[in-house]
Amino acid sequence: MAGAKPTIYKWVLHPGGSGVLRSVGILPDGTLHNPNGYPEDLVRAAVEAANERRRKKRSEAAAKAAATRAARRERKVAEVVAKLKAGGHLSPGDYCEICKKHLDDPESVERGIGSDCWQHLLSLLAEAAGTLDPGPGA
Ligand SMILES: [Zn+2]
């Protein structure tokens, strides 16, 4: 991606709430894309309102996605902790068992869990200290 993308909308809501403005936008240099010749301040207000709605929607979507990921990871960590506490063992793998991220370093591959998730898991295990058989190699 190179520089700011011009924000041109096929249509935006009329700021006064009556209908839409077609093919309007604000170019990176601040000038208007306004082939239909709407009043300039109307175009700016409408485009800025549309930009604002778009920003809000994006950040809400991002926050929701992050929360979903965190919840899923939390569940996976709890599963692995339960497995270890039940006497299960970690199995090596190229992808993190918890977040599915690709693993590169041998230590992570060996346990099948990335270092971030591992730290998280260890802190949960610490809360449950004393109930875990460390297993071979520990
Ligand atoms: Zn992970």
What confidence tens digit (pLDDT) does each residue in 96-124 have? 999 999 999 999 999 999 999 999 999 88
Looking at the fold, whether 83 and 95 belong to one and the same domain comes out as yes
Residues with C-beta atoms within 5 A of ion ligand 1: 96, 98-99, 101, 114, 117
Q: How many domains does the chain have?
A: 2
Looking at the fold, whether 52 and 81 belong to one and the same domain comes out as no
**Four-point Cα dihedral 5, 11, 16, 18, nearest 10:** 180
Structural domain of 74:
66-127
Looking at the fold, whether 73 and 105 belong to one and the same domain comes out as yes
Give the Cα separation of 120 and 73 in Å (integer).
10
Q: Does some domain include residue 134?
A: no
Q: How far is the CA of 114 from the centre of ligand 1 (A)?
A: 4
Q: How far is the CA of 55 from the centre of ligand 1 (A)?
A: 29
Element (H, E) at 9: strand 7-13
Looking at the fold, whether 57 and 77 belong to one and the same domain comes out as no
Q: How many helices (H) and strands (E) does the chain have?
A: 3, 3
pLDDT exceeding 90 applies to what percent of the chain? 72
**DSSP of 20-49, one letter per residue?**
EEEEEEE-TTS-EE-TT---HHHHHHHHHH
Band (pLDDT 50/70/90 cuts) for residue 127 is confident
Domain boundary among 62, 86, 104: 62
Q: Does some domain include residue 132?
A: no
Q: How far is the CA of 77 from the centre of ligand 1 (A)?
A: 9
Band (pLDDT 50/70/90 cuts) for residue 133 is low
List the structure tokens of 12: 């935006």
Cα three-residue angle 120-124-125, rounded to 5 degrees: 115
Looking at the fold, whether 55 and 107 belong to one and the same domain comes out as no
Q: How far is the CA of 91 from the centre of ligand 1 (A)?
A: 14
Q: How far is the CA of 121 from the centre of ligand 1 (A)?
A: 10
Q: How far is the CA of 86 from the centre of ligand 1 (A)?
A: 21
